């Protein structure tokens, strides 16, 4: 397995996801400004990690066809909404994201808040599917959307951002920091894998293994993000570096240094990969993605 093979695999998935997102996001409809702002941030060159993980989990669990694309795209909309709100002046106050001005720098704060709100609503439309036809059973959709909803509330995405802002981790304990990361980044990544598995009707053992994998790579992902904020190149990253230090945020590199943080991230992905042992060759993209998460430069 080499990097080119993974790159080709991810590229193919990304293409399908982007085509579906093109269909999902309105263009010319009123009120145009918010639809333009939604598209501006969704098509800013994201890596589409969450929908890709959902699709892989779906396929590993025996799911067939493209029906997974719609709910998977919903995961990307949720991720994009959280970035737009996190970048707001009242939060992390970031001017750049993926090499372009952040949403509020272009559309103003009011529209940026509403764009996030609108993406959440549209995400749920993607999760729930149309009422006329849906490829999944009503039971599977409900299990999936319930799981997802828990992951984005105060015990997940929103809770993590709250803890990040109020620096619940200011007690400088590794456990508190891990919990913040788990809520802020891990919950949605874990849920993406679980959701793909749930929609394919995975058995509890496979579901649990994918969940464990998601937990590991989620933490590794956030640790690597924090490391890149210290060591990364602004040009390659397309966003501000050293902003965590400026905001006096407690992060892994701040708490234990860059080298130890790298080791911690590696430990997380090794742990994640162990949970793939029973899945054999079909889990190769998940193994490669785990490696990619800690090796990436942006």
Return residues touching its own copies (CB under 8 A): 26, 29-31, 33-35, 38, 85, 88, 90-91, 108-111, 113-114, 116-118, 120-122, 124-125, 128-131, 138-139, 141-143, 145-146, 149-150, 152-154, 156-159, 161-163, 165-166, 168
- CA 141 to chain centroid, in Å, comes to 20
Give the CB-side neighbour count of residue 267, counting CA atoms within 13 A: 7
- Closest approach, Cβ 35 to its own copies, in A, equals 6
Q: Rounded to the nearest whole angstrom, what is the least distance from the CB of residue 292 to its own copies in the complex?
A: 29
**Closer Cβ to its own copies, 151 or 276, answer by number:** 151
Nearer to its own copies, 33 or 274 (CB): 33
In angstroms, what is the minimal distance from the CB of 190 to its own copies?
Answer: 16
> Are 161 and 82 a contacting pair, CB within 8 Å?
yes
For its own copies, which is the closer residue by CB, 116 or 214?
Answer: 116
Distance in angstroms (rounded) separating the CA atoms of residues 93 and 232:
19
CB 177 within 8 A of CB 252: yes
Handedness of CA 103, 109, 112, 113 (dihedral sign): positive
Q: Minimum Å distance from CB 29 to its own copies?
A: 8
Give min distance, CB of 163 to its own copies, in A. Answer: 5
Q: Please, what is the minimum distance in Å from the beta carbon of residue 169 to its own copies?
A: 11
Are 40 and 104 contacting, i.e. CB atoms less than 8 angstroms apart?
no
Q: Which is nearer to its own copies, 162 or 266 (CB)?
A: 162
Considering beta carbons, is residue 162 or 256 the nearer one to its own copies? 162
Q: For the CB of residue 34, give the shortest distance to its own copies in the complex, in Å.
A: 5
Decide if 83 contacts 225 (C-beta within 8 A). no
Provide the token pair at 277.
């042992």
Q: Select 4 or 133, whichever has its Cβ closest to its own copies.
A: 133
Eight-state DSSP code of residue 182: I
Please state whether 120 falls in left (phi above 0), alpha (psi between -120 and 50) or beta.
alpha
First to last CA, the chain: 22
Chain mean position to CA 249: 21
> How many helices (H) and strands (E) are present in the chain, helices listed first?
16, 2
Q: Which residues pair with 273 in a beta bridge?
A: none
Q: Which is nearer to its own copies, 54 or 114 (CB)?
A: 114
């Amino acid at each position: 397995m080499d990097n080119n093979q993974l790159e080709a695999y991810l590229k193919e998935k990304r293409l399908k996801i982007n085509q579906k997102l093109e269909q999902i996001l309105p263009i010319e409809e009123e009120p145009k400004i918010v639809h333009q702002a939604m598209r501006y941030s969704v098509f800013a060159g994201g890596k589409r990690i969450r929908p890709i993980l959902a699709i892989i989990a779906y396929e590993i669990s025996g799911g067939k066809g493209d029906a997974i694309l719609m709910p998977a795209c919903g995961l990307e909309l949720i991720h994009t909404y959280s970035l737009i709100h996190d970048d707001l002046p009242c939060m992390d106050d970031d001017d750049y994201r993926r090499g372009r001005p952040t949403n509020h720098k272009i559309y103003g704060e009011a529209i940026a808040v509403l764009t996030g709100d609108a993406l959440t609503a549209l995400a749920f439309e993607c999760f729930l599917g149309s009422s006329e036809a849906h490829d999944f059973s009503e039971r599977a959709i409900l299990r999936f959307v319930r799981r997802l909803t828990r992951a984005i509330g105060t015990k997940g995405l929103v809770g993590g951002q709250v803890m990040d802002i109020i620096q619940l981790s200011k007690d400088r304990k590794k456990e508190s920091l891990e919990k913040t990361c788990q809520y802020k980044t891990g919950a949605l990544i874990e849920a993406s894998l679980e959701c793909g598995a749930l929609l394919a009707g995975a058995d509890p053992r496979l579901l649990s293994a994918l969940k464990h994998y998601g937990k590991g790579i989620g933490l590794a992902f956030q640790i690597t993000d924090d490391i890149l904020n210290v060591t990364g190149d602004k040009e390659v990253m397309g966003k501000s570096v050293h902003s965590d230090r400026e905001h006096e945020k407690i992060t892994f590199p701040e708490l234990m240094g860059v080298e130890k943080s790298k080791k911690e991230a590696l430990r997380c992905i090794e742990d994640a990969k162990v949970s793939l042992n029973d899945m054999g060759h079909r889990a190769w993209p998940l193994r490669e993605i785990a490696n990619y998460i800690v090796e990436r430069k942006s």
